[in-house]
Amino acid sequence: MRLAVLKETMPGETRVAATPETVKKLKGLGCNVAVQAGAGLASGIPDAEFAAAGAEIAADAAAAVAGASIVFTVRAPEAPLPQGALLIGTLAADAAKAQGYAAAGVEACSMELLPRITRAQSMDVLSSQANLAGYRAVIEGAAAYDRGFPMMMTAAGTVAAANAFIMGAGVAGLQAIATARRLGARVSATDVRPAAKEEIKSLGAAFVGYEDEESRHAQTAGGYAKQLSAEFYAKQAEVVAAHIAKQDVVVCTALVQGRKAPTLITEAMVLSMKPGSVIVDIASDAGGNCALTKPGEIFETPNGVKILGWTNWPGRIPAAASALYARNLLTFLTTFWDKEAKAPKLNPEDEIVQGVQLTRGGAVVHNMFAPAQAA
């Protein structure tokens, strides 16, 4: 069984869907692995390391996927895939893409749709990548802030610790809290989900936020934040506005699955901040949590606040991000691997398969995009 690993074509995408470590394990399953030339260079993995692990180095995407039964990718590929191939990646699934995969006879699995259940934790690409994004956001925020993070006592006087405020306490936010604490900042955080308050406090940060009856039901069964009312966000904004004016570094991580990121920092809030303050917007891929974020750019406001709006934050730490992502895909494939047939066997009744599989047998089967067909 041939498994192809493609070089990413999206601008700024530095990750790769396999590493020499996972290539060896894929070969142990019985796969012949073909890696497109240059696929790992942006992650610090030369072709020679893939070859040493037993992979064939294919000259281009067409050569890599020729005869492939399985294709690993980070983003949705541009290259045509063989009919019947199993495509596994973060495909930014929507109805049009799903229909395209079905028409091409490709069985597509979009890993960002993985259900948040215990069985799926080791293959949860969103969690593994968000963890790194939260870490990297604080590191880059600290680098952009020119006054230092920890309190430092010197013969010449004391340098005060930075005030760091983390907005959103999901996987990325909790890692951002932990990283900011390790760097010595005074850390506070906010989140609308009721369980987040204790998680924030457990990491040594102060909780900031408005709480009412609506906020007690602000979490889905899958652990994601729900979209709340305009009235709630207005009251939350009042609390945040007073707090944010005193902050040195603000890291925004709030996302609502399947929707544009909520605007948590208004222009007025930005203008209230001190010159030299920094806002790091991890949610820039989804439109941003800050009203002034420019996705893909660093922007400095007239009052001297730097807004870091880079997209693809995990891709800013590519070696680690690729290593974790590749293990996520390997775990998914291994979980559904038929050892006797030496092939994947995706049970359509399995909760994980139902969560990620977009297409099967030339039809769209995911209930988000084709409810009638998925019934």
Rounded to whole angstroms, how far apart are CA atoms 326 and 22?
Answer: 7
Considering the candidates 127, 215, 277, 284, report the single residue annotated as catalytic: 127
43 catalytically annotated: no
Q: How confident is the model at residue 195 (pLDDT cuts 50, 70, 90)?
A: confident
Are 248 and 145 contacting, i.e. CB atoms less than 8 angstroms apart? yes
What integer pLDDT is reported at residue 225 of this predicted model?
58
Query: 296, 312, 328: which is the final residue of a domain?
Result: 312
- Nearest in space to 306 (alpha carbons), one of 134, 130, 136, 146: 146
- Nearest in space to 45 (alpha carbons), one of 19, 73, 7: 19
Rounded to whole angstroms, how far apart are CA atoms 360 and 293?
Answer: 39
More confident residue, 89 or 222: 89
Query: 297, 312, 327: which is the final residue of a domain?
Result: 312
Considering the candidates 121, 182, 216, 259, report the single residue annotated as catalytic: 121
Query: 288, 312, 336: which is the final residue of a domain?
Result: 312
Rounded to whole angstroms, how far apart are CA atoms 270 and 285?
Answer: 20
Do 193 and 299 sit in the same domain of this protein? yes
What integer pLDDT is reported at residue 121 of this predicted model?
95
Alpha helices in 203-312 (DSSP H): 230-244, 267-272
Beta pairing, strands 2-5 & 32-36? parallel
Could you tell me how far CA 245 lies from the centroid of its own chain? 28
Supply the CATH number for residue 160's domain: 3.40.50.720
Rounded to whole angstroms, how far apart are CA atoms 40 and 35?
Answer: 9
Residue 124 pLDDT greater than 70, yes or no: yes
Do 217 and 258 sit in the same domain of this protein? yes
Decide: helix, strand or coil at residue 264. coil
Considering the candidates 116, 147, 181, 316, report the single residue annotated as catalytic: 116
Do 276 and 145 sit in the same domain of this protein? yes
Are 190 and 211 contacting, i.e. CB atoms less than 8 angstroms apart? no
Do 148 and 117 sit in the same domain of this protein? no
Considering the candidates 36, 43, 101, 124, report the single residue annotated as catalytic: 124
Q: How far apart are the first and last CA of the chain?
A: 31
248 catalytically annotated: no
Query: By CB neighbour count within 10 A (0-12 exposed, 13-18 middle, 19+ buried), where does 304 fall?
Result: exposed
Do 135 and 114 sit in the same domain of this protein? no
- Nearest in space to 104 (alpha carbons), one of 65, 58, 74: 65
Q: Mean pLDDT throughout 222-237?
A: 68
**DSSP tag of 219:** B
Do 221 and 289 sit in the same domain of this protein? yes
- Residue 70 structure tokens: 């399985």
Q: Enumerate residues 6+ apart whose C-beta is below 8 A from 105.
A: 83, 84, 362
Considering its fold, how many domains does the chain have in total? 2
Q: How confident is the model at residue 213 (pLDDT cuts 50, 70, 90)?
A: low
Q: How confident is the model at residue 231 (pLDDT cuts 50, 70, 90)?
A: confident
Domain that holds residue 196: 131-312
Q: Mean pLDDT throughout 76-94?
A: 94
**Amino acid present at 74:** V
Considering the candidates 47, 99, 219, 224, report the single residue annotated as catalytic: 224
121 catalytically annotated: yes
